[in-house]
Structure 1
Amino acid sequence: MGALDGITVLSFNHFLSGPAAAQFLGDIGADVIAVEPLGGAFQRNWAVGNRFVDETSVNHMTTGRNKRSIAVDLKSPEGLAAVRRLIARADVVMENFRPGTLDKLGLSEAAMRAINPRLIYAATTGYGGDGPYRDRPGQDVLLQAMSGLAAHTGSMESGPVAIGTVPIDHHAAALTVAGILAALYERERTGEGKRIEVNMLQAALDLQGESITAWMNGADRSGPRGQAGMANWFSPAPYGIYAVADGHVMISMSKPADLAEALNLPQLADFSEKDGFDKRGDISAMVAGGMAALTAAQALDRLAKAGVWHELVRDYDSLRDNPQVEHLGAFIDARTQGGSPMTLLSHPIRYDGELPEVRLTPQPLGGQTREVLAEVGLSQGEIDALIASGAVAQTEKMRG
């Protein structure tokens, strides 16, 4: 049982942010029906690192669980008619196309509301549904550049750096979920559906709320990035990543004097907490020299004894061996459509101490076309005719 049991979500999403949001809703009990083109949504056919396991893309693994799939040609009148029957019974419709894309297919928000007035319509776009940038491509790294995220990442010495993941997509997904849940709650009180709009530009700004607010309100800075190893422009030294003989160590919030004995740098004891802000470069450079003389094991031992918050910089290969990650059940071991092992990240929230179950592993394209259409009243003969005409497609079903 989940919080959204009895709620039906139609997901017209593709790429990452929309599918990730829909998966979250499926995790907490919603019946998520992924409405895909006959060739499959983008995330089935493109993969990060070009990695497919038994023809299952790692992107579909990332966002495809707890969803049923129906494959429909939306340019077919028969296919469109079938989708309208789904809309009539849905609670939520989600899409993350460029503004106006569904309108051209006869599936505008107004047309959907004419079928189902209580519908919650959730649109995730790059820049919003209107305005001068509405038709620009909303891609994560471009928004890192536009929003200041890239300019404020990296060092003053080396220049801006793109973050090596896609945080804006994931944050936009979380905001979309929050908006849909708020709309569902309000509908319980008012009986009325709402339009939910999330755009990746504001998601990128929201992701940087602390630093943008400080910057806009006159916080002291010498540039948009950290210097001499500092992780950012706004924290006191020695906050940042420092090289040791065999790796790198992150030092978190601490006073310069805390590191004087640990790094055999007695001069650090003369710096005040205020100097941590005013003399960031000098302090960070001293710490960098002291850390470079140590191995990772030595640095971790000395920093721990000094009570300095720190962590060894690790890569993804270390995650399976992390005892806390294991304790939290952060990974799910499952099987692909072809039977090979695959690893999924689990839902990130516990409910009364429990993680939601995986009711469906990522399903094959159109794996539930027949059953979904039967649920909205089509006969087997009508479904057979739709499949024969190419308006919809059904593939062999796979359950979790």
Structure 2
Amino acid sequence: MQLEGIRVVSFNHFLMGPLGVQFLGDLGAEIIAIEPPKGAFQRHWGGQNSKRAGGETTLELVANRNKKSICLDLKSPEAVEIAKKLIETADVVAENFRPGVMEKLGLGYEELKKINPGLIFASASGFGADGPYVNRPGQDMIAQSLSGMAWITGKQGEVPRLIGTSAIDQHGAMIYAAGILGALVKKARTGEGGRVDVNLFSAALNLQAESLVCYFNGERPVSTQQPASVGSWYHEAPYGIYATADRYIGLSLGNLGVMLEAIGLAETFNITQEEAFARREEISAVFAERLKTKPFHEWAQILEARDIWYTEVNDYDALAKDPQVLHNGDFVEVESWNGEKITLVANPVRYNGVVAPIRLVPQKLGAQTEEVLTELGISNEHLDDLVAKGTIGPK
């Protein structure tokens, strides 16, 4: 495994932090997730009325495989000392509390690097470690709305629209993982640790780099909301999604003349490639009307013959049967800690053609508390005392 021998102590909760650290766990790092006695937030909220599978909320299942779970009440000074003892053995501490919380717990970077000078301290926050928004709550909907993402996803004249999934959290998680990986490479070369900071707001801007660079350079558009069927404010027609006689079809970038010929309007609709942006609402209306006249499979044959980029538009039921999804093994069925079958989304990276294995399914709260603390040299008698005081979760 690529990160075998790397130990990460994780204080993450909700989605961006846990998902980023899970990526490291998939690559072989030992992840020790520290949770409070009642469990981290994701154990109590899972979408669709806190839907559960395999004994856990679905949000817990999204981002907590390949991790050991230990239960510490960090309000207890003794639990903080246990955490510090564990951190002495770590390569990375990762957390996504609001800025200042780790310092209040006595677990801030300046304190921890005294006991582990080579430590990498990775922090994921809503808006960054400082600045005017430092104390604002950070969450995916807030980031989508504040960053302009919801605005550019909406249609002109309509209410701004959220993407439909926690895209910023998930993109931010990959930036978080990449930042930690970069720090680990530096540590391998120099022995030096350091601090890594990522935030949800900057991740939202990074995800919009194509749109933002287009907007802030040269002439600016009247509106950055999507027009009619066109998929974004900065694309020409007919780029977007349209209804056919029986289902939806997505049209990608292509030569407008060839595309008009494919739908049988090259002779009757006089328009050039150079006008594809300026007259895009007119063009998209023509395509929308024409594409309704045939079922998807007929259009697919016509477009395929002309090497025009197109796609079916899957719902989730169709996605589960998609041949490329099945070939790639993107969905993995495993047995949860309580014996129930659950479906997880596989790690997207292949090394030498092999998908990263699931060594641990998302664990029951505190499942490895006794194992990890025993490795630190804490006796059974001391463990019993800590359980009795509520400093740690049940053995």
TM-score (norm 1): 0.95
Residues 56 and 337 in structure 1, CA contact (< 8 A), matched pair in contact too: no
Aligned mates of 1:27, 1:294 — CA distance in 2: 45
Summarize the alignment of residues 81-92 of structure 1 with structure 2, pairs less than 5 Å apart. Answer: 81-92=81-92
Query: How far does residue 297 in structure 1 lie from its aligned partner after superposition?
Result: 2.2
Q: Which string of whole-angstrom CA distances, capped at 9 and with x for unpartnered residues, describes residues 45-86 of structure 1? A: 110212102431111111111000000000112211111110
Which residue of 1 is the match for residue 146 of structure 2?
A: 146
CA contact (8 A) 2:54 2:341 kept: no
The corresponding residue for 1:108 is 108
- Residue 380 (structure 1) aligned with residue 380 (structure 2): yes
**Residue aligning to 2:5:** 6
Residues 74-118 of structure 1 show CA distances to partners (whole Å, capped at 9, x for unaligned) of 011221111111011111000001101121112121111111111
Of residues 222-231 and 262-271 in structure 1, the stretch that sits farther from structure 2 once superposed is 262-271
AA of the residue aligned to 2:343: T
Structure 1 residues 9 and 307 mapped into 2: Cα distance closer, same or farther (>3 Å)?
same
Alpha-carbon distance in 1 for matches of 2:159, 2:246: 25
CA distance in 2, matches of 1:189, 1:302: 55
CA distance in 2, matches of 1:241, 1:81: 56
Separation (CA, whole Å) in 2 of partners of 1:310 and 1:220: 29
Alpha-carbon separation, structure 1, partners of 2:64 and 2:152: 33
The match for 2:254 is 254
Aligned to 1:45: 44
Q: Is the contact between residue 260 and residue 268 of structure 1 (CA under 8 Å) also seen in structure 2?
A: no
The amino acid of 1:4's aligned partner reads L
Q: Any idea what the Cα deviations from partners look like across 1:263-312, whole Å, max 9, x if unmatched?
A: 22235763222111221111111111111222222222222223211111
Native 8 Å contact 2:43 2:56 kept in 1: yes
How far the C-alpha of 1:159 sits from its partner, in A, is: 4.0
CA distance in 2, matches of 1:266, 1:192: 64
| Inter-CA distance 377–124: structure 2 relative to 1 (3 Å threshold) | same
User: Which amino acid in structure 1 is aligned with residue 332 of structure 2?
Assistant: I
Say if 1:256 and 1:269, in contact at 8 Å, map to a contact too. no
Contact 2:10 2:31 in 1 (8 A): yes
Distance 2:295 2:231 in 1: 21
SS at match of 1:151: helix
2:117 is equivalent to residue 124 of structure 1:
no
Q: Distance in 2 between matches of 1:302 and 1:189?
A: 55
* Matched position secondary structure for 2:149: coil
Equivalent position SS for 1:277: coil
Map 1:262-281 to 2 at 5 A. Answer: 262-267=262-267, 270-281=270-281
Query: Is 2:181 aligned against 1:181?
Result: yes
Rounded Cα–Cα distance in structure 2 between residues aligned with 1:266 and 1:120: 61
1:237 pairs with 2:223: no
CA distance in structure 1 between the aligned counterparts of 2:14 and 2:260, rounded to whole angstroms: 49
Partner residue of 1:398? Answer: none
Structure 1 residue 148, shift from structure 2 partner: 0.8
Q: Quick check: 1:137 aligned with 2:140?
A: no
> Matched residues in 2 for 1:154 and 1:293: separation?
27
Q: Secondary structure at the match of 1:89?
A: coil
Q: Once the two structures are superposed, what CA deviation does each residue of 1:349-372 show, in whole Å capped at 9, x if it has no partner? A: 000111121111111000000110
Query: In structure 2, what residue type is equivalent to 1:260?
Result: L
SS across alignment from 2:354:
coil
The two structures, once aligned, show a CA RMSD in angstroms of 1.4
Contact map agreement 1:259 1:268 (CA 8 A) in 2:
no
1:70 is matched with which residue? 70
CA gap of 1:261–1:138, structure 2 versus 1, over 3 A, is same
Distance 2:16 2:213 in 1: 25
Identify unmatched segments of 5+ residues in structure 2. none
Q: Residues 230 and 241 of structure 1 are in contact (CA less than 8 Å); yes or no, is this contact kept in structure 2?
A: yes
User: Which residue identity does 2:47 align to in structure 1?
Assistant: V
Is the 2:17–2:96 contact (alpha carbons within 8 Å) kept by the matching residues of 1? yes
Match of 1:56 in 2: 56
Q: Is residue 335–residue 341 contact of structure 1 (8 Å, CA) maintained in 2?
A: yes
The residue that corresponds to 2:294 in the other structure is 294
Q: Give distance in 1, aligned partners of 2:220 and 2:86.
A: 55
- Output aligned runs, 1:148-167, within 5 Å: 148-167=148-167
Tell me: CA distance 1:26–1:99, structure 2 relative to 1, closer, same or farther (3 Å). Answer: same
CA distance in 1, matches of 2:348, 2:265: 42
Instruction: Check 1:183–1:242 CA distance in 2 against 1; reply closer, same or farther (3 A cut).
Output: same
* AA of the residue aligned to 2:36: P
Asked if 1:355 corresponds to 2:355, the answer is: yes
